[in-house]
Amino acid sequence: MQVTNNSKTKLRISIGLLLLFGVAVVLCILFFLIKDNYIPRWVTWNEKAMNEGRLVLKDKMLTLYDEQGNKIFSTEKTVKVQDFLLTDIDGNGHEDIIALVWKRGKYGKYRPFWIDKDERNYSQHIFIYEIEDENKVRPKWFASETGHLIRRMKLEDESGKIILVEDVDKTNSLWRWDGFGLKNVDNSVRFIAFGDNIIHEEIYKHAYANENESFDFLYEPFKKEIENADIAAFQAETVLVDKKSMVSGYPTFGSPKEMGQALADTGFDIAVCANNHILDKGRGAVDFTKDFYEDCGLKTVGIQKSTDKTYMPYELISRNGIKFALFAYTYDTNVEKATEKYPNLVHYLPQDEDGEKELVKDLTESRKEADIVVVFVHWGEEYQTEISSFQEHFTELFAEGNADVVIGTHPHVVQETKEITRPDGKKMIVFYSLGNFRADQGFSEETKIGEEALFTAEHTYDGIRITGFETKEINAYWKDDMK
């Protein structure tokens, strides 16, 4: 009797396990059958009207009415519209409806010849319809699949030619019309900067004796890094001269124009010229330096031509739809200031309260033209790794002016990098000192090592933002590269 009961018990257990296994298999099959057969819950279904209320999105359907209120177009019932934009995306004079939709299957009425049948699962797409003359609506373009899970979208610029989309994971991307269809474009800018470029006597003598007067060797180790950046800047610690007889090293620097050419050929975009050595060779060398770099396509910041009658506090540079205002200041110059006769020649940090107010005002007003404000500043104590009270004071002023990034030079050694909270609650990145970039200062480990500053500015749904920053250690002592 006991054996029989045990057998029945084992049988029941076996049947139960089989049933459980069967249910699990069925559930798995159902999961794989339906997992893509519904629209995700994170989707927000927008309802809005545009074009004087004649283009209406309601109940996941997009409808266009004429001026009398008659319906002249609506999306198919099989298409569920999440959102739409209205713009002349291709610039042909006709408005286009950019619709973000969900539908079953990846393809439209016509499939590629190699596709036997379409899928039945829901997927997200972008449809573009053109509103032609007499309110005729023509299907213009259809994305078989976006390749993204788009949470929301908007027009990024006033021209209405660029669309910004934000994915469900908050990744942002830009799209524009390119011939036939939307094409992804870069939505970020990689901005890099290096410290003091000081051409000591041993450097230019080596170039004259061994490099056929070329300075390419000096910047070759950084060429790939610079090419990979969207914007690259350096501190032009030594002024350029146009005559070989004017070339000299410490303490009154004058660098060969061939050195400037090498910097341009390496791919730099910005020469920061506000520094204590900028007047070492007089007003004429400042004019020559500005003309030379600008003829090579570089922005020169922190100096102006001696003939300039108007003070221009900043330069603008733009990449990938992001505009940067570039300021540059120096604490002083080794040669007596030329401010009385040439008040705009060199941009100095202010020395009184009125000047400080003007500085803050200049920074603030640059926002009218720029998305990101960058300040290059020559400050601090030479060979000191500690931040001075002078630096702290001007950091507060830059923050008051809502600068986004401050890039410091002059100490010839690396100082720390901090993220400061501005009075408006936003962040300001301060690279207090990048140390040397290229120099013949091998007397200490601190002067032989510099830093590269990097930050990324990006289009986001909430505006253009700095989304990351870092520093990289570099070798600044040129002789170490010659070994």
Task: Please give the chain's pLDDT, 483 residues, in tens.
Answer: 444 666 666 666 767 666 776 666 655 554 544 444 689 999 999 999 998 989 999 999 999 999 899 999 999 999 999 999 999 999 999 999 999 999 988 665 544 434 455 567 888 999 999 999 888 999 999 887 778 899 999 999 888 999 999 999 999 999 999 988 999 999 999 999 999 999 999 999 999 999 999 999 999 999 999 999 999 999 999 999 999 999 999 999 999 999 999 999 999 999 999 999 999 999 999 999 999 999 999 999 999 999 999 999 999 999 999 999 999 999 999 988 777 889 999 999 999 999 999 999 999 999 999 999 999 999 999 999 999 999 999 999 999 999 999 999 999 999 999 999 999 999 999 999 999 999 999 999 999 999 999 999 999 999 999 999 999 999 999 999 987
Model pLDDT, residue 435: 99
Model pLDDT, residue 375: 99
Model pLDDT, residue 111: 44
Q: In the chain, what are the domain boundaries?
A: 48-185, 188-481
In the chain, the amino acid numbered 169 is D
Q: Which CATH superfamily is domain 188-481 in?
A: Metallo-dependent phosphatases (3.60.21.10)
